[in-house]
Amino acid sequence: MNIETLREFCRALPAVTEDVKWGHDLCFSVAGKMFCVAALDGPFTVSFKVKDEEFDEISSSPGFSPAPYVARYKWVLVEEVNKLSRKEWSHYIKQSYELVKAKLPKGVARKHGLA
């Protein structure tokens, strides 16, 4: 996994925007709500939201940890990006997107063509 492949996966989803936050994190959002964050400085790491029932297992697996600041929302940090296959990356990014999109208010979702 590299930054360009990550951008390709994220930007392929409907109504996704990207921007840099906090000076060094590339953030992908749907209707203004983040679903994936990648570090631009230092080692390449990626954070995303997982299902509640997956969080404990995934966040304690080798190469993963609870994401700083957002673990309480069931976000994990992938510290070793090569631990996931291309298929797994696609699955987790799409799943994170869907989890965040599902929480959008109906009016916001309609405004962004998602309802």
Is the pLDDT at 54 greater than 80? The verdict is: yes
Position 11 in a domain? yes
Tell me whether residue 46 is exposed, middle or buried, using C-beta atoms within 10 angstroms of its C-beta: 0 to 12, 13 to 18, 19 or more.
Answer: buried
The pTM (predicted TM-score) of the whole model is 0.93
- Identify whether the C-beta of residue 93 lies closer than 8 Å to the C-beta of residue 101: no
Q: Where residue 41 sits, what CATH number does that domain have?
A: 3.90.1150.30
- The two tokens of residue 105 are 């208010």
Tell me the per-residue pLDDT of 73-101, one tens digit each, with 9 for 90 and over.
999 999 999 999 999 999 999 999 999 99
Residue among 67, 83, 82 at smallest CA distance from 35: 67
Task: State the pLDDT at residue 84.
Answer: 95
Task: State the pLDDT at residue 36.
Answer: 98
Of residues 38 and 23, more confidently modeled = 38
Position 112 in a domain? no
Find the DSSP H helices in the chain: 3-11, 52-59, 86-102, 106-111
Position 110 in a domain? no
Position 20 in a domain? yes
Position 15 in a domain? yes
Using pLDDT thresholds of 50, 70 and 90, give the confidence band for residue 42.
confident
Task: State the pLDDT at residue 115.
Answer: 76
The total domain count for the chain is 1
Cα-Cα end-to-end distance for the chain = 31
Is the pLDDT at 72 greater than 80? The verdict is: yes
Is the pLDDT at 27 greater than 90? The verdict is: yes
Facing residues of 25 across strands? Answer: 21, 39
Residue 71's domain comprises 3-103
Position 63 in a domain? yes
Percent of the chain with pLDDT over 90: 92
- Identify whether the C-beta of residue 54 lies closer than 8 Å to the C-beta of residue 68: no
